[in-house]
Structure 1
Amino acid sequence: MAIMDLKFLVFLIALLLVWETQVQAETKVFNVINYGAVADGSKDNAQAFLDAWNDACQYEGNGRMYIPSGTYQLNHVQFKGPCNGGMEFMIQGTLKAPTDPKLFFVSETWINFQYVSALTIYGGGTLDGQGASAWKDNTCSTNPSCRTLPTALRLDFTNTSQIRDLVSLNSKNVHLTLYGCDNVEISNIKISAPGDSPNTDGIKMAKSKNIRIIHSDIGTGDDCIAMLDGLYDIQISGVTCGPGHGISIGSLADSRDIEDVSRITVRNCRLHDTTNGLRLKTWASPYKGRVFNLTYEDIVMENVQNPIIIDQNYCPHCRCNSTASSHVHISNVRFKNIRGTSSSEYAVTLNCSQARPCTDMRLEDIKLEYKSRGTPALSSCSHARGASYRPLRPLSCL
C-alpha cells in the first residue's frame, strides 16, 4: 500500500511540474493601445511601444506585443533584451517612419532589436519607411562626410528567431539588416521600393550564421540581398528579385578586418529586370580574405544585365585604387542550371584577381541567351581556374 501511495505521489508531482511548465509557456498579450498608442497616423507612439515591450520582455512566459490594425506614427525605437521568455512582435497595422530630418537623423536605424532570443516578428502588417521624403538627402556617392539614412529594421545579436508575413515599403536606406545573428529564418515577406531609390537594399547581412531566407518577394533600388563578411551557412531559396541589383556577396575587403564567407547556397530563385543576377564583388585592395563553398542552382534570369558576374576589381569611386589587385581568394564556386535571358552581350563574367586567382570554379548546365536576336551571348574570364560541363550557352571561357 505504501508503495502504491508513493507512486501516486510521484505521479502527482510530475503532473504538477507539467502543469507549471504549461502555465509558464502560456502567451500573454500586451496590446500597445493599452499603453497609450494611438492609431491616428500622426502621434508618435515610440514611448507606448517601449512600455509595452518592457512589460512583455519581463513576463516569465511568452510575451506577445500586439499592434492591432490602424496606422501608427513611430519615431526611432530600440527594443532590448535579453527577455525572460519567448517574444512575439505581432504587427497587424501599419507603422510609419518620420519624415522630418530632425527625427530620422537621430539614429542609423528606425526599428532596432538587440540581444533577443526566440523572437518572432510577424502578423501581416506593414513597415512604411516613407523613403521618398529622404532619398534626396542621400549624397554619399559624392560626399564622403554624408549622414547615413536609417535602416528600417535591424536585428543585432538576435538568435533562434523568425521574421515572417511582413511587408516593408520604401525604406530610407536598407530595409532589413542582420548583424551578429544566429539561426534566423525570414519567410513570406515582401520588400518594395522604386528601382531608382538609392541604397535601399532589401536584406543585408554580416557576421551571422545559420540564416534562411525563403519564399519572399524583393524589389528595390539596390541589392535584393547583400551578403557581407563573416557569414556562414546562409540558405536562400524561393526568392523573387526585381527590380534591383541582384543577389550579391560583397563588397568585401574595404577594411582590414575581413572575416571568411562560406557555405552560401542560393536555389530556386527568379531574378527579373535587375542590373546584376548572381554577383560577387571585392575591393581592389591589399586586405586578405576568403570566400568559398558557394552553390548557385536552379536560377531563372529574365532580362538581367549581368546574370553571372564576379568582379574582383571593384572600385566605384576615387577613394580606391583601380590599378590594385584584390587579395580575397574565391574558391569552390558552383553555378548549375542557370537559365534565361541577358540584357547585355556578356552573360557570364568572371573577373578574378591577378594576385589571388579564383580556383575550383564550376559552370554546369548554363543556358543564357542574349536578348538581341541573332547575336549569341558571350562569356569572359580573367584569372579564373576551373571546369565547365555541357550544355553551356554561352560557350565557357574557363
Structure 2
Amino acid sequence: MEMKYILLIIISLLFTLGSADINVTQFGTKADGKSDDSGAFTKAWKSACNSDDSTTLYVPVGNYLLYPTIFGGPCKSPKITINLEGNLIASTDINKVDDGSWLRFENIDGLEINGGVLDGKGAPYWHCKEDDGDCPVGARSLVIKNCKNVRMNNLTSMSSKKFHIALDNSKGINLHGIKIRAPGNSPNTDGIHVDGSSDVLIRDASIQTGDDCISISPGTHDLHVEQVTCGPGHGISIGSLAHSLDEPGVQNVTVKNVVFHGTTNGLRIKSFARKSNGFVKNIVYDGVVMNNVENPIIIDQKYCPHGHCPNQKSGIKISDVMYKNITGSSTTKVAINFNCNASNPCNNIELQDVDLTYKGKKAQASCTNANGKATGVVTPPSCL
C-alpha cells in the first residue's frame, strides 16, 4: 500500500514539475471595470514570459479595464497558457489608441488563450465614423503579430472598434470555438482578419458583425476554415487585393461546411483594377449553405467601394478556384457573378453541384472574362 502512495506522489510531481501558475490578482488588479488594470496585466505577463517553465496565467472572474497593451516576446517560457474567466474591457475613449491595436501579442512562440470575453466598447468610435468626424485610427481588439504556434479556444470578442481578431504575419494558428458579436451596421468590424499568415485553422466559429466575417489578405497561404456560421456581415472575402505592385499572393485556402445568414456576400474574391504581381490560386469552397445572401458567389476584379478608383487593367491573376456543394437562396437575381478583367481573365474556375435560387425562382449566372467548367448539376445554368 505504501508503494502505491509513493507512486501517486511521484506521478503528481511529474505532472507539476516544469510548470508555473500566475494569478493576475497577485499584481494588484482591481477587476471593477473602472480602475486601470493595464499595469498589473503587463507585470503578470512579464513574470510569465521570463519563466523558464511552461506557465499558466490565470485571470479570475471580474471586469478588467485595460488600455492598449502589448504582450511582447520573445519569451523564455516555452509555452504560456492564459485561462480567462473574466471580462477584458476597453476604454470608451476613442483617442486612447496605440498603433491601431488594443491587445497585441507579438514575437511569441507557444501561446494558448482559453475562454473569456473581450469587450472593445466600439460604439463611440462607430458613431464618429458615421458622422464623418475627425476620428483616430481606431483599434483592432486582438492582434497576433509575428507569432508561432498559437491556439485560442472558446474566446468571445464583442463590439470591437475595428477588426475583432487580426492574425498578422504569423504561423501555426488554431482558432476553435470563437464567437464574435457586433451590429450589422458597425463599420470595419471584420471578425477574423488573416494577413500574411500561414498554417491557420479556423473551426467552429460563430460570427455576427458589420464587415467581413473572415477577411483574407495578401501573403496568406494554407488556411483552412470549417464549421463557421456568418451573418450579419459581408461574407468570407479574399481581398481586397492589388493594393501594391509587389504584393504576395493568396493560395491554398479551403472553406468548408459554412452557413451564411442574410449577408451582403457569401464567397467573395475582390481586387482593385490596378497593376499588381499578386495572385489567387488553389481555392476550394465546399459544402456551403446560403440563406438569403445578396451575392452568394462573386469574383470582382473591378472592386471600387468608394468611387474614384484607378481605371487600369487588373494585375491580379485568379485561377484554380473550385465551388462544390453550394446550396441556398440569393436575394439578387444574379447568384453567380464572375466579373473578371480582360487583361487577366479568371482561369480554371469550376462549379460542381451548385443549387442556388432567387426568391424561390430561377436565378442567373453572369460571366465576364471567366474560363472554366461546370460538372454535376449546376443551377443556375453555368455561364463558364
TM range (shorter): over 0.9
Aligned match of 1:386: 372
1:242-257, aligned counterparts within 5 Å? 242-257=231-246
Using a 3 Å threshold, how does the CA distance of structure 1 residues 355 and 89 change in structure 2: closer, same or farther? same
8 Å contact from structure 1 (residues 25, 62) kept in 2: no
Aligned match of 1:109: 101
Q: Is residue 253 of structure 2 the alignment partner of residue 261 of structure 1?
A: no
CA distance in 2, matches of 1:156, 1:218: 22
Aligned match of 2:358: 370
1:291-306, aligned counterparts within 5 Å? 291-306=280-295
Paired residue for 1:99, among 65, 69, 92? Answer: 92
CA distance in 1, matches of 2:305, 2:209: 20
Aligned match of 1:6: none
Pair member with larger Rg: 1
CA distance in 1, matches of 2:370, 2:43: 56
CA distance in 1, matches of 2:17, 2:343: 56
Q: Is residue 87 of structure 2 the alignment partner of residue 87 of structure 1?
A: no
Secondary structure in 2 aligned to 1:295?
A: strand
Paired residue for 1:129, among 115, 120, 143? Answer: 120
Deviations 1:358-387 (A, max 9, x none): 11110010001111x4x4100000000000
Using a 3 Å threshold, how does the CA distance of structure 1 residues 349 and 25 change in structure 2: closer, same or farther? farther
Paired residue for 1:26, among 18, 22, 40? Answer: 18
Aligned-CA RMSD value: 1.8
Paired residue for 2:141, among 148, 152, 159? Answer: 152
Aligned match of 2:381: 395
Paired residue for 2:49, among 48, 54, 57? Answer: 57
Identity of aligned residues (%): 40
CA distance in 2, matches of 1:238, 1:76: 32
For 2:91, give the aligned amino acid: P
Deviations 1:174-216 (A, max 9, x none): 0000011111100001001000000000000111100000011
Using a 3 Å threshold, how does the CA distance of structure 1 residues 263 and 302 change in structure 2: closer, same or farther? same
Aligned match of 1:3: none
1:1-398, aligned counterparts within 5 Å? 26-85=18-77, 86-103=79-96, 105-122=97-114, 124-138=115-129, 147-321=136-310, 323-371=311-359, 373=360, 375-398=361-384
Structure 2, unpaired ranges of 5+: 1-9
CA distance in 2, matches of 1:106, 1:181: 20
8 Å contact from structure 2 (residues 50, 75) kept in 1: yes
For 1:130, give the aligned amino acid: K
Deviations 1:283-328 (A, max 9, x none): 111122111000000101101000000000011224422x322110
CA distance in 2, matches of 1:238, 1:55: 37
Q: What is the deviation of 1:139? A: 6.2
CA distance in 1, matches of 2:23, 2:30: 11
For 2:295, give the aligned amino acid: N
CA distance in 1, matches of 2:185, 2:262: 13
Q: Structure 1 residues 312-321 or 337-346, which shifts more?
A: 312-321
CA distance in 2, matches of 1:73, 1:93: 11
For 2:26, give the aligned amino acid: N
Q: What is the deviation of 1:23? A: 7.5
Number of residue equivalences: 373
CA distance in 2, matches of 1:208, 1:350: 27
**What TM-score does the superposition give when structure 2 sets the normalisation length?**
0.94
CA distance in 1, matches of 2:304, 2:17: 53
Q: What is the deviation of 1:22? A: 5.0
CA distance in 2, matches of 1:146, 1:279: 29
